[in-house]
Amino acid sequence: MLPTATQPDAQTPSPATTPAVLNVEHSVNGRRWSWREGADSPATNRLGAALAQQLGIPEIVGRLLAMRGVSPEHAPHFLAPSLRALIPDPSCLTDMDKAAARMAQAVQAGETIGVFGDYDVDGACASAVLAAFFEQLGCSVLTHIPDRMTEGYGPNLPALEALVAQGATLLVCVDCGTASAPILNQLADKADVVVLDHHKSEDALPDILATVNPNRVDCTSGLGHICAAALSFLATVATRRTLRQNGFFTAEHPQPDLRPLLDLVALATVCDVMPLQGVNRLFVAEGLKIMAARQRVGIAALLEVAGVSKAPDAFSCGFALGPRINAGGRIAEAALGLRLLRCPDVHDAKQMAERLDAVNRRRQDVEADILDRAMEQAAEQRDAGHGVILLAGQDWHPGVVGIVAGRIKERFNRPALVGAQQEDGSIKGSGRSVPGLDLGTVIIAARQAGMLKTGGGHAMAAGFSLDAGRLAEFHTFLNTRLPQAAALPPTVDLTIDAVVAVSGATAELAGDMAALAPFGAGNPEPLIALPNATIVRTDRIGRDGNTLRVLIRASNGSRLKALLFKAEGNPLAQVLEDATRPSLHLAGYLRAESWNGRTDATFFVQDVAHA
């Protein structure tokens, strides 16, 4: 289980020996501006020029591709990914053929299939993918999403036995199950079990029919970067192929089109913060096209409630859809997100979307109530020399501690773990890490050492539980196992892709750079710097006045509109609104926006420095 996506970020550490971009060593946000690796190298310029000539694209797009490590061989597929060229053979995954054969058998026999999914976006989407596929082929499908508070993460015996009691003869656990051998092994004489998961585990695998996990030690697929929904989609590809080989498809049983399932895969891939490269980029690019048609009633309703009127993009998935689907699993009805994704009725979908929207607002209030106190304690731990931050609160809601951990990680550039104390005295929490420090492996090691009751996850995110009395011991363990954390700088450099004159920041340039979308983890949106910007006007806009609209004058007399969100109390806003109008360097994202048939460039400010 991974957190809902954060803002696609272009932030990576850079050696202090590299000259700062525009000599910005300390911005208003206290950050150094550094070049993206290779941005100012002759080799990048040569490769960028070659790519531009080969593909007939602007030279700046060629350079951006070169900086992202895209070779001339892969560039055409990067810019125009296709299913035929990039989708892997599902058989490359260990146990996939066994899983597909059993799922095909269930389809042919008209069995009832039970799907048990995790309570986050990936688990809901993976469950919805399988449910839609099996139901289209005539099977009855039962689904279960566990309640975070009462059932916890992963398969539990009462829920699985309840699915069997309702007639399920095949159980499929998605986005969980790899580390659940003690639970799943008890079902051997009750139903066949298949696991479709991507979480790391150093424990013995369950003794079940099939465990399909690209991150299991003996899997050589090279697909360890895909999410559970993508894995479920590949399982449908493999099952459809097996059914075709078995002669199942006839005029009465037509072969299903799997492409409409990719909107779910795209949503999960973005929200589980998977790198948008290779097959993931393909899934998101194709899935966003499906999502734009708004044919899935539940997603269409949620887009409307979230106020997304344009064609959805990766940002829409990470900030409009993902948090609302996750909110149900965090503090309300765990299965509400999945029910919405499966809902065929427009009226019902609208009601569920509105409920999720309300729950998400409640989640934000709960988070805000915890965040200030957590930030104070985190600062104290950092000042005391702790490399890893570990917090726990008696009245903190366990459904939001992962989000709070993410906020602390971003603020202090340290791995952060936040727990909520339970009534029985135990602590249950989540952690988030920084690039290069594998938190999941350390959590698993702590559990294997007997320090934790439960624990596991990924390099960047993990969950854990322990007795409150062992909290200090656990903190020492984390600091010892992740010693590099103590040496991390207090802030991460802001990584710049290009410096562009204000006069050159046009809608045409924004459109050219948009060819690299979808943006997100592994493919950050280009961050550009505008040197010596002259501010001529600022206005507070929006219902709450929390957005700052800025008008920038270029040397040729043209004007560029810029926006700064969350302006209230923001030091960037104070500098931009300075009546003395100092010359400023601005860093941000350049995007083309259309309104009433006209397309203009808008600059979204991320940082400011005095020129």
> If you write DSSP's letter for every residue of 512-550 in order, what string do you get?
HHGGGPSPBTTBPPPPEEEEEEEEEEEEEESTTS-EEEE
- pLDDT, position 90: 98
- For the four alpha carbons of 151, 152, 156 and 159, in that order, the dihedral sign comes to positive
pLDDT of 304 reads 97
What whole-number distance in Å separates Cα of residue 342 and Cα of residue 232?
Answer: 16
Query: How distant is the alpha carbon of residue 536 from its chain centre?
Result: 38
pLDDT for residue 19 = 87
**46 Cβ contact list (under 8 Å, min separation 6):** none
Q: What is the pLDDT of residue 17?
A: 58
**Cβ atoms of residues 280 and 335 within 8 Å:** no
Task: Yes or no: say if 135 and 141 are a contact pair by the CB < 8 Å rule.
Answer: yes
Q: What's the confidence (pLDDT) of residue 417?
A: 98
Q: What is the pLDDT of residue 12?
A: 41
Tell me 207's DSSP state: S
Angle of CA points 277, 282, 284, to nearest 5°: 90
Nearest to 33 by CA among 428, 491, 483, 393: 491
What 3-state class would DSSP assign to 596?
Answer: coil
Enumerate residue ranges in the chain where pLDDT < 50.
1-15
pTM over 0.95: no
Contact call for residues 336 and 144 (beta carbons, < 8 A): no
Provide the pLDDT for residue 5.
41
Closest-CA residue to 116 (of 60, 157, 165): 157
Q: Strands 547-553 and 528-541, how do they pair? A: antiparallel
Alpha carbon distances (Å) from 188 to 99, 213, 402: 15, 20, 34
Provide the token pair at 140.
């009855």
